[in-house]
Amino acid sequence: MPELPEVEVSRMGISPYLEGETIKLVHVYQASLRWPVPDEVKLTEGLVINKVMRRAKYLLLETVMGSLILHLGMSGKLRVIDKSVPRIKHDHIDIEMETGKILRFNDPRRFGCFLFQPPGQVHKLLANLGPEPLTLAFNYQDLYNKSRDKKTAIKQFLMNNINVVGVGNIYANEALFKAGIHPQMPAGKVSKKRYEKLVFLVKETLDKAIVQGGTTLKDFAQTDGKPGYFAQELLVYGRGGLPCKVCTKPLTEIKIGQRSSVFCDECQKR
């Protein structure tokens, strides 16, 4: 599933083609996605897209009559193409602009979503989300306060969208390694000083991934459109059993909360 940096690069990629442009038609060819596509998406036809926003891993196309909400799920991808380009298998939704460009949503597994948020309201999927990690609202004092008396493993605590949104499995592994914190350490046992370091490194790790992903934008209006994971040198994720790049000892791989967790027993302390 694409993580926050990949979704943010998707936003950056489609925004120049959509912001300030008028939606001509919304074509729904397959309404059975993760949740049924509501008829209200048609209310945006004839309206200008004022802004393309991201909240956690959701993309919002904002108009005066409400927002279209997109989530890529596990296999979704977006392409900005000319309306003359033939549909292929799993092309479920087209947002056709007056310019002749189309934002096309393809999703083989259909775990993505296409929903509607009325103006002045917050969709229930977005209502209880925590702070965005790259904003001042995500800070070590707040995270430290939330963690007190929590026995949950710090990795699961960090990936909980109530505490902070968008820190998925890859970036949680990487940030905890850089911070020298063992992923199984109870969140309530992590000191304030270590939370200060961890929050800084979460922000740095995500920001670097977004900057690196920005180099792929030239491909966004072409044939693929799938954000994927950027060609970055990961320190621990996907490297279970391989030598640690700091101390050279083999990295350990276990399951924490049903997710693969890779760490160094030497470099990451409980």
Q: Which pLDDT does position 223 carry in this prediction?
A: 39
CA angle, 146 then 149 then 153, to 5°: 80
Q: Which pLDDT does position 230 carry in this prediction?
A: 52
Cβ(179)–Cβ(155) below 8 Å: no
204, two tokens: 């740095």
Q: Given a cut of 90, is residue 226 above it in pLDDT?
A: no
Q: Which pLDDT does position 1 carry in this prediction?
A: 66
- Residues 69 and 122: their CA atoms lie apart, in Å, by 11
pLDDT band at 232 (very low <50, low <70, confident <90, very high): low
Question: 3-state DSSP call for residue 179?
Answer: helix
Q: Given a cut of 60, is residue 39 above it in pLDDT?
A: yes
Q: How many whole angstroms from its chain centre is CA 114?
A: 15
| More confident of the two residues 61 and 12 | 61
Q: Which residues are annotated as a binding site?
A: 90, 109, 150
42 catalytically annotated: no
- Residues 168 and 176: their CA atoms lie apart, in Å, by 12
Q: What percent of the chain has pLDDT over 90?
A: 81
What are the structural domains of the chain? 4-117 (3.20.190.10), 140-263 (1.10.8.50)
- Residues 16 and 11: their CA atoms lie apart, in Å, by 9
- Exactly one of 11, 54, 57, 77 is catalytic; which is it? 57
140, two tokens: 């070590």
Instruction: Say which residues have a Cβ less than 8 Å from residue 262's Cβ, sequence separation at least 6.
Output: 173, 236, 237, 238, 239, 240, 251, 252, 253
Cβ(167)–Cβ(134) below 8 Å: no
Q: Which pLDDT does position 55 carry in this prediction?
A: 96
Q: What percent of the chain has pLDDT over 70?
A: 93
pLDDT band at 213 (very low <50, low <70, confident <90, very high): confident
- Residues 90 and 30: their CA atoms lie apart, in Å, by 9
- Exactly one of 3, 8, 62, 174 is catalytic; which is it? 3
Angle of helix 192-213 relative to helix 140-147, nearest 10 degrees, comes to: 120
Among residues 67, 68, 63, 74, which one has the least CA distance to residue 6?
74
Q: Which pLDDT does position 227 carry in this prediction?
A: 47
pTM value is 0.89
Please identify which residue in the block is written with the tokens 């929903």: 115
pLDDT in tens, 77-100: 899 999 999 999 999 999 999 999
250 catalytically annotated: no
- Exactly one of 42, 146, 203, 259 is catalytic; which is it? 259
CA angle, 129 then 15 then 175, to 5°: 45
Q: Which pLDDT does position 211 carry in this prediction?
A: 84
Q: Given a cut of 60, is residue 42 above it in pLDDT?
A: yes
- Exactly one of 2, 5, 133, 227 is catalytic; which is it? 2
- Residues 167 and 161: their CA atoms lie apart, in Å, by 8
Mean of all residue pLDDT scores within the chain? 91
pLDDT band at 220 (very low <50, low <70, confident <90, very high): very low
Q: Given a cut of 90, is residue 136 above it in pLDDT?
A: yes
**Which strand (E) or helix (H) includes residue 51?**
strand 51-55
pLDDT band at 210 (very low <50, low <70, confident <90, very high): confident
Lowest-confidence range among 25-29, 159-163, 201-205, 207-211?
207-211
57 catalytically annotated: yes
Q: Given a cut of 90, is residue 35 above it in pLDDT?
A: yes
pLDDT in tens, 11-33: 988 999 999 999 999 999 999 99
Q: Given a cut of 50, is residue 218 above it in pLDDT?
A: no
- Residues 204 and 225: their CA atoms lie apart, in Å, by 25
Q: Which pLDDT does position 242 carry in this prediction?
A: 96
Work out the average pLDDT over 223-239.
65
Q: Which pLDDT does position 214 carry in this prediction?
A: 55
Q: Which residues are annotated as a binding site for DNA?
A: 90, 109, 150
